[in-house]
Structure 1
């Protein structure tokens, strides 16, 4: 356990900051559409699935995990005639080496099935469908779906699509597929499957305020700053939404949430270790020196004129 000179538990503070999720408009809209897919499935008795599409680092996995938590934990309940296991959500993160067979085995294991390498995909499908229904699953999340979608030839992708169609049609339970645009392109190759995914949420890196009707990045930075002030009991600090630090943060992260999270974590850690209740621009500069995505050039060591010139040059390139 690391304790700062002023008595703050550094590990706990950083962990709490990392767990903080800011529900900016695009996040709220994504959650609304995914929730609507669950409600529509329940009301229509027909699976109306959702997709969460966007590049790496924009918060797709974070949203999937929040959704899994929101739907509720695995539990055992006593019914009038039996003891029943309920699993509201099945979350599967697909590795790069995933195949239809390995994916089927992982899902079956999550659902409590006894699985062996000798079982056929058809046998695993039957087991999965049975468990999805009996365990009253509300949503199946396949995260990083592009790891499977971008592999192999069109025949492999067709088999993957058919596998999902079978699970949807026979279980009646909606899926959430999360991944890059490759995932959406794969789903769209089969019209029957594409029609099963009417709700599609898209996440992108947060733009500069000047580039958007809604200044999402400003709102996120303001909310995160409140957390750092609370957790670090800060008395002196730079305002992250002021023009100079705001521009430096945008240029360093390009509005990518994962990069922003790494940068803020390292900067805040430096400040906590110093233990003087402050957070400075130098903390960000020192953190950026060690982060490959923003160390060259280090925008936190630039003057306001240099930042403006860099932004102007970037706008011209776009």
Structure 2
């Protein structure tokens, strides 16, 4: 295999790994609640929206994209009178500099309108509501909602809340707001809006096995390892659920799903480039050397005693933080 073909093959394998999701309990519960919000809205003819709450890196954006994909892509439907576009899901990722006006412009463009800078927020509201209804949208997703919710004065936040109430009340369509706990605090400032979000799913970092009756981290690692072995046709590999290995992974990533994905991607890539169908713990150590969140100390070069000492120190640190 020439170098170009090999690189292409490696990239395809890594993309497949990136697309792999292990449906651990938090994910399953979040999907259940979000599906329920859509079904309840349909049955009651009244928007019952949902929130996806969690700190950075716990998998909120990944789940939002999976929901968007599950609801289906936009498609053109022809009837006796015309051809119209149906869009089951509208996904919008909010930039850090988002305002109500800029968000209205983005929504209008996403819904295939062409707003101009002279249009008022009120006129944009009318356009957005009309398009949401005619496109038969089932769910609107605002990802990274904290970018707009956590900024500005109370008056600005109240304006944002009232804007959301208008969109939901006049369109009859549920929203999914994904963001940090601060986003939930903003929604709760107005009772009418808070009541529109009865379904609230919370994603947390993956805890160490010893901290739970059902070891979630072990289940996630086992699922991801099976995919790595399959994709790489591996003949030899470290069992990530072995005590020393999963402890090193937990310490390196702190149970953060985004960090775990980065670590597995870089470790697996080293094995694929080598081309011997073997993944080693040294691949993890070498990958960790380049990752800022786990490069010092490098837990993959520690023995069992050292790892247990680090875990004890981490547990004491968490205990102090709770006091």
TM-score by length of 2: 0.96
Please tell me the root mean square deviation across aligned C-alpha atoms, in Å: 1.1
**Which residue matches 2:110?**
110
Alignment CA distance shift 1:152-1:281 (3 Å) = same
For residues 261 and 252 of structure 1, what CA distance do their matches in structure 2 show? 12
* SS of structure 1 residue aligned to 2:36: helix
CA gap of 1:2–1:237, structure 2 versus 1, over 3 A, is farther
Q: How many Å apart are 1:214 and its aligned residue?
A: 2.2
Spell out the pairing of 1:155-194 with structure 2 (5 A cutoff). 155-194=155-194
Residue of structure 1 equivalent to 2:315: 315
The CA distance in 1 between the partners of 2:303 and 2:85, in whole Å, is: 60
- Asked if 1:75 corresponds to 2:75, the answer is yes
1:93 aligns with 2:109: no
Residue 22 of structure 1 deviates from its aligned partner by 1.1
Q: Check conservation: 1:2, 1:10, Cα contact below 8 A.
A: no
Question: After superposition, what is the alpha-carbon deviation per residue over 1:56-112, rounded to whole angstroms, capped at 9, x for unaligned?
Answer: 000000000000010000100111322111000000000000000000000011111
Alignment of 1:221-300 (within 5 A): 221-300=221-300
Moved over 3 A (4+): 1-4
Q: Number of residues paired by the alignment? A: 316
Inter-CA distance 218–3: structure 2 relative to 1 (3 Å threshold): farther
Query: What residue number does 1:301 align with?
Result: 301
Q: Do the aligned partners of 1:75 and 1:86 also contact (CA within 8 Å) in 2?
A: yes
User: 3-state DSSP class of the match of 1:140?
Assistant: strand
| Counterpart for residue 12 of structure 2 | 12
In structure 1, C-alpha distance between the alignment counterparts of 2:162 and 2:184, rounded to whole Å = 15
Structure 1 Cα separation of the partners of residues 46 and 148 of structure 2? 25
292-301 or 74-83, larger mean C-alpha shift: 74-83
The alpha-carbon deviation at position 8 of structure 1 amounts to: 8.6
Deviation at 1:242, TM superposition (A): 0.5
Structure 1 Cα separation of the partners of residues 270 and 85 of structure 2: 46
- Distance across 2 between alignment mates of 1:296 and 1:30: 34
How far has the Cα of 1:213 moved from its partner?
2.6
Tell me, in whole angstroms, the C-alpha distance in 2 between the residues paired with 1:20 and 1:126.
40
Instruction: Quote how far apart the aligned CAs of 1:291 are.
Output: 0.2
* Structure 2 unaligned blocks of 5 or more: 319-323
Q: Which residue number in structure 1 is paired with residue 57 of structure 2? A: 57
In structure 1, the residue matched to 2:136 is 136
Give the C-alpha shift of residue 3 in structure 1.
Answer: 4.9
CA offset digits 1:176-199 (Å, max 9, x no partner): 000000100000000000000000
